[in-house]
Amino acid sequence: MDKKKLLALIAKKNERKASLTKQAETCEDVATLRNINKEMDTLNEEIRSLQELADSIKDEKVLEEKDKKSAVLDENGQSERTRIVNGEIPIIVKAGIEAQEKKSVTDKEVEKRVEEIAADLRNGKEVIIDHNVQSFLNKRAIDSTSVMLENKYKREIADNFNEVAQTIDLVDAFLLDGGNSYDVSFQITDGEADYTAEGGTYTNDEGTFGTASTGRAKITNSAVVTEEIVELPNADYLTRIVNSVRKSIRKKISNQIIAGLGGANQLRGIYNAPEGTIPETYIVELSAIDKDSLRKIVFAYGGDEDIESPATLFLNKLDLAAFAAVMASGDGRPYYSITYNGSNGFIQEVGGGLRVPYTINSACVALSADGTTAGAKTIVYGSPMYYELPMFTPLSIKRSDERFIDQGKIGFFGKVIAGGVINKYKGFITVKKA
């Protein structure tokens, strides 16, 4: 795509933004306003990316001169320039230097903030870890993989096996600006027209609607490290502390999305959704995992007129193993094909049948476990985006030297305040042990 087309696309997206802004001014429906805000956020990000790309593309004449000077032909006799224009090489890869220079300015600004935050944390001040800072630290952790570490300090300790379900990354998480509660509204049924006699009163069936709300739940944990950590460079020091505290909080929230009880100062999970959001009768009963299990779950989900897709299975690792152990008739081959990438993957029936994404969550009770009693809620199926995770505050961390001073250690205490709510009627279906 050339620069002219990019600018035209940006203009079109700006027109859409203006239209949405006008719509929001007169809209009084909470759900519609939420959808407008989501689309506006998406448009802003798309416009920013497109503008960066457009700014990085040089004029056609400049590119042509460059091609003349260093035209390298491939096996088909095409220059690099030709392949870019034809889309065979992503143009964003070749846009290069100018965009990178712009990005580096932003990176430097974030790096400066990281230095300041690390200094504040060293001095015992409470610090806020926002999205930009966290992204920088994540990249720092990924980049810190060389065999020899500068300054002769061991930057990382050996990780344990993953204990954080990826559920938290799949649901609709977003940061709120304060508040004490968060409400959603949803439609339960559509209205239905009916016959009307000549001169009779019109049918008045508007359908039914419901609401759900979540309060605030404070989730905390501490990380205790040796005093020597303060000798690390600022960015490495902050990365170690933030990742330690953040991982433990993510673990708790991921589990609570499934099993949270929903009492005072607690997230409400899918298992304990209110009757007005997920009726107790909206279940699938299975005694074991067999060749029919996946179909029973998928076809029980959603309305009477469609099959909602894509949805996700949330299940215990033992149940994933049980799916893998089901054999096809007579030939000794597995009936389900299991693909995986860490906590996530796909379960597919043999011969190109149903293919369903899954994510492992240890908070799910294992249907296949010997100790699981009849009536227990086990596997969950539904779209992760039907669970909203409003964060009333970002992650904050504070240092304390006093508690562990006699042990040569330092404590760091982290907290977030979050909520959890299902935003769609029958957004998830649960498998009960028969």
Query: How far is the C-alpha of 203 from the C-alpha of 187, rounded, in Å?
Result: 19
What's the predicted TM-score (pTM) here? 0.67
| pLDDT the model gives residue 132 | 81
| pLDDT the model gives residue 307 | 79
Query: How far is the C-alpha of 110 from the C-alpha of 56, rounded, in Å?
Result: 22
Tokens describing residue 109: 């600004």
13-22, 261-270, 281-290: range with highest mean pLDDT: 281-290
Query: How far is the C-alpha of 77 from the C-alpha of 249, rounded, in Å?
Result: 56
Question: 26-64 pLDDT, tens per residue?
Answer: 666 656 766 777 787 777 777 777 777 777 665 555 445
Residue 386's closest CA among 305, 284, 301? 301
Residue 385's closest CA among 23, 8, 34? 34
Instruction: Determine the Cα angle at 299 with ends 294 and 305, to 5°.
Output: 160
On the question of pLDDT at 85 being above 70, the answer is no
How many Cβ atoms sit within 10 Å of the Cβ of residue 297? Answer: 21
Per-residue CA distances from 33 to 22, 215, 387 (Å): 12, 21, 18
Query: How far is the C-alpha of 220 from the C-alpha of 248, rounded, in Å?
Result: 9
Question: 303-319 pLDDT, tens per residue?
Answer: 887 777 779 999 999 99
pLDDT category at 226 given cuts 50, 70, 90 is confident
| pLDDT the model gives residue 33 | 66
Give the β-pairing of 355-360 and 312-315. parallel
Question: 166-180 pLDDT, tens per residue?
Answer: 888 889 888 887 678
Residue 380's closest CA among 330, 426, 313, 335? 313
On the question of pLDDT at 229 being above 60, the answer is yes
| pLDDT the model gives residue 322 | 97
On the question of pLDDT at 97 being above 70, the answer is no
Q: Which residues contact 314 (CB under 8 A, 6 or more apart)?
A: 167, 258, 270, 358, 359, 361, 364, 379, 380, 381
Per-residue CA distances from 150 to 144, 147, 183, 227 (Å): 10, 10, 50, 19
Question: 314-334 pLDDT, tens per residue?
Answer: 999 999 999 999 998 777 789
Asked whether 268 and 260 are in contact (CB, 8 A), the reply is yes
Helices within 181-233 (DSSP H only): none
On the question of pLDDT at 254 being above 80, the answer is yes
On the question of pLDDT at 410 being above 80, the answer is yes
Query: How far is the C-alpha of 210 from the C-alpha of 212, rounded, in Å?
Result: 7
Lowest mean pLDDT among 57-61, 122-126, 253-257, 417-421: 57-61
Q: At residue 420, what is the residue type?
A: G
Q: Which residues contact 102 (CB under 8 A, 6 or more apart)?
A: 52, 55, 56
Query: How far is the C-alpha of 294 from the C-alpha of 281, rounded, in Å?
Result: 19
pLDDT category at 145 given cuts 50, 70, 90 is very low
pLDDT category at 426 given cuts 50, 70, 90 is very high
| pLDDT the model gives residue 223 | 84
DSSP state at residue 406: G
Lowest mean pLDDT among 81-95, 186-200, 278-292, 361-375: 81-95
- Find the mean pLDDT for residues 279-308: 92
Tokens describing residue 130: 């926002």
* Sheet architecture: strand order including 312-315: 283-286, 428-433, 377-382, 312-315, 355-360, 344-349, 336-341
Lowest mean pLDDT among 10-19, 81-90, 422-431: 81-90
Query: How far is the C-alpha of 245 from the C-alpha of 248, rounded, in Å?
Result: 6
DSSP state at residue 334: B
| pLDDT the model gives residue 146 | 29
* Mean pLDDT (the chain, rounded): 79
On the question of pLDDT at 156 being above 50, the answer is no
Residue 395's closest CA among 153, 163, 276, 221? 221
Asked whether 57 and 98 are in contact (CB, 8 A), the reply is no
